[in-house]
Chain A
Amino acid sequence: MIARRVSLLASVAAVLVMIACTNSFEIPIETPIRPKLDVAAFQRVLVAGFIAGGTEDVDGNLETTRLLRSQLRTKSELRVIDSDVLPLQEVATEGRNGDSAGGAATTPPPIKEQKDLEAYEHVFANVEYWKRIGEEYQMPLIVTGTVLFTPLQRNQIVQREQEVYDSFGRRRVVPVRTYQERKGFSLDGRFIFIDGRSGATLHSESFNEQILYNANQTTPALSSYFELMDRLIPSFLSTLSSQKIKGTRILLQ
């Protein structure tokens, strides 16, 4: 992703030079993006909660629910329902143990990696459960899913340039290969959109974003989480509402 952006910036610089030399005109454009999902039948949206896991530094369920609600409030025409975040992990555990009628509460095992999520995925297919939630909140569009925010470590050989001076004091730049330790986070999961009238899944989309820093850089987990979510928000919003993406292009003569 970063390499792609760097190459894009380099080509923008080259293009700016070209613009000066050719019959071309920079023009601002706004690209309208149609929503992926037809939400005309809904007036409200309930971001119900997420089955979340990974690092304990970030409550993926609470933070994701809060962030998506605030984004939808400002960038979607649907009315966002304020409610307590559903403890979906407990709901899934209860459902599986068949003690949803009020038996002893079972502590769900912690979710540390992707395969741990599989034990809970069945809750999204529980049409009766989602229908009941839908009835409780006046048939909204329900947003739920999974969020796995895990620490990441990657060691690799990187090439960088180093200044060296010879015995005559002449400066040279030589490529040096060094071993670099990098740390960061990975954000994986799925947004699931459920029809609150029927309890059926309308649409789902998976995501995976990663961020890496130099090992000596200390970035709080929550900051990294928001940085990664920031990349996912445009795609999430474009599922529900039309977006206009501003940019510039070059007209040619």
Chain B
Amino acid sequence: MIAVLALAAAPLAADARDDAKKQVEFGISVAQRGLWREAIYRWERATQIDPTYAAAHNNLAIAYEHEGDLMKARAAYEKALELEPGNALIKQNYELFKEINDRTTR
């Protein structure tokens, strides 16, 4: 029974990731045009659709950072790293964020 449920859930998860990926891609295209609020909306949607999508959390963190919301940015980076602890690109973004954040709290 559990195996059947697991098999049935797999395509659902894949669908969620596909939907979330569309939101992430659209978010990237609008962020590149400077529309950061729209990008935030898209990436927040992506994290709601698929909360395990590290890239969406990473992008959301960058957008929060750009908006000056450093508390939310930290939480989003930490979530992204929790999901993908070995991702060097996320780590790199987080290190750069921490440098700025440290300056404000010094």
Contacts and interface: CB of A to CB of B under 8 A. Distances in A.
Interface of A: 8, 11-12, 14-15, 18-19, 22, 24-25, 27, 29-34, 36, 205, 207, 234-235, 238, 245, 247, 249-253
Contacts of B106: 205, 207, 235
A11 B100 contact: no
Contacts of B97: 249
A15 B31 contact: no
A252 B68 contact: no
19 contacts: A8-B95, A11-B92, A11-B95, A14-B88, A24-B89, A27-B32, A27-B62, A29-B65, A29-B66, A235-B103, A247-B100, A249-B62, A249-B96, A251-B28, A251-B59, A251-B62, A252-B24, A253-B21, A253-B24
Nearest to A235: B106
Given A32-B68, A253-B21, A245 B88 contact: no
A245 B66 CA distance: 9
A245 B89 contact: no
Nearest to B57: A252
Contact of B31 (A24, A27, A36): A27
Given A15-B89, A247-B96, A253 B104 contact: no
Interface size class for chain B? 20 to 34
A203 to B, nearest CB: 13
Interface of B: 21, 24-25, 28, 31-32, 54-55, 58-59, 62, 65-68, 70, 87-93, 95-97, 99-100, 103-104, 106
A25 B62 CA distance: 12
A15 B66 contact: no
A36 B28 contact: no
Contacts of A251: 28, 31, 58-59, 62
Nearest to B24: A253
Contact of A249 (B65, B103, B104): B65
B62 A253 contact: no
Contact of A33 (B62, B96, B103): B103
Contacts of B104: 33-34, 36, 238
